[in-house]
Chain A
Amino acid sequence: QKEVEQNSGPLSVPEGAIASLNCTYSDRGSQSFFWYRQYSGKSPELIMFIYSNGDKEDGRFTAQLNKASQYVSLLIRDSQPSDSATYLCAVRYSSASKIIFGSGTRLSIRP
């Protein structure tokens, strides 16, 4: 069974610091990796996706993928209180398969 694991948190980070969120997955053949953000009471919104090993940067967000170690991470630079949310890691094995979601990490940015 394909699984995606995340630490549930909460992860508390001071404002302005770097928040680091981690995720591991069980299926070595997984091809696509996603990070979603979900504010309390709202639906998830896509932050980034990554397919290749290495880093992918988008503004204050950097996704890092290491397929050999089967982990994917999300770095948030210059953390803001508005970044406080639950971050969902998601993994797709192939283009024809459904995305498997982790249970999410709750991030709290303290002023």
Chain B
Amino acid sequence: GAVVSQHPSWVICKSGTSVKIECRSLDFQATTMFWYRQFPKQSLMLMATSNEGSKATYEQGVEKDKFLINHASLTLSTLTVTSAHPEDSSFYICSASGLAGAAYQETQYFGPGTRLLVL
């Protein structure tokens, strides 16, 4: 149980284009999803927290107009990197936690990550 998927796993795009990454909880309903970014040999950096049906909460220093997050259902959240530039190249990882009262709410389960390369 507690499986989180991400799509795509790899994406290469040209500078200036937008890229959408999907995060799905496959076997539980996720009230809260988190988006992280990780550069090589560095720690996880939380970008934003999204709750189903409401606006995402962004961490300090993360541009909300550049990293658009939508959490339209209890099983799907999307991150759109708008007008991507080479410095946005990174490993983007989502995680999800479940509904109140469910065992899954007790922790966060991570998706496999999406590696983005902007040329």
Give the distance in Å from the alpha carbon of A62 to the alpha carbon of B106 in the complex: 19
CA distance A45 to B107 in the complex (A): 11
Q: Which residues in window 91-119 of B have CB below 8 A to A?
A: 91, 93, 100, 105-113
Query: How many interface residues does A have (CB within 8 Å)?
Result: 18
Asked whether, in the complex, the Cβ of B46 is within 8 Å of the Cβ of A98, the reply is yes
Q: Provide the A33-57 mask, 1 if CB < 8 A to any CB of B, else 0.
A: 0101000011111100100000000
- How many cross-chain pairs have Cβ atoms below 8 Å apart between A and B? 39
Residues of A within 8 A of B106 (CB): 32, 49, 95
Chain A residues near B113: list those with CB within 8 A: 42-43
Give the interface size class of chain B.
Answer: 10 to 19
Interface-located stretch among A22-30, A67-75, A77-85, A99-107: A99-107
Interface residue? B77 (CB, 8 A): no
- Is B44 interfacial (CB 8 A cutoff)? yes
Which B residues fall within an 8 A CB radius of A?
Answer: 34, 43-44, 46, 49, 91, 93, 100, 105-113
